[in-house]
Amino acid sequence: MTSRRIVSNEKTLLKKDDSNDRTPTASETSNITPAVPAAVIMKLLGFTAAMVGGPIGMYFLTLNTVFRGNSTWAGATAAFTANLVLIAYVIVAMKEDQSDQLAAGESAKKNR
């Protein structure tokens, strides 16, 4: 049978957590930059607005003007518009990823 070792100078879990929450001193600077750049957030908000407004707008635009009340064709046009927005988002994301890789490659070449 094993016995439990009790050591009074060991810190408990609560005391260990308290030591991690210290405030930085005046000589230390804190990093307050956002985790995601503002351009990425704006791009995401733009595609979100396009994904919501594009298909709904296309449905109501084509319902009575193009298809003369045929909601099936107007719905199909809205679905097509949603797919176009999704494809555009994927293409933009892929180009952004490629530009990040190219920038990393160029900085690696400069450091040689």
Q: What is the pLDDT along the chain (112 residues), one digit of tens a residue?
A: 567 666 666 666 666 655 555 666 666 777 777 888 888 899 999 999 999 999 999 999 999 999 999 999 999 999 999 999 999 999 999 998 888 777 777 777 777 6
**Does the pTM of the predicted model rise above 0.85?**
no
Q: In angstroms, how far is CA 55 from the centroid of its own chain?
A: 22
d(CA 54, CA 51): 6
pLDDT tens digit sequence for 37-67 = 888 899 999 999 999 999 999 999 999 999 9
CA angle centred on 44, ends 85 and 80, rounded to 5° = 10
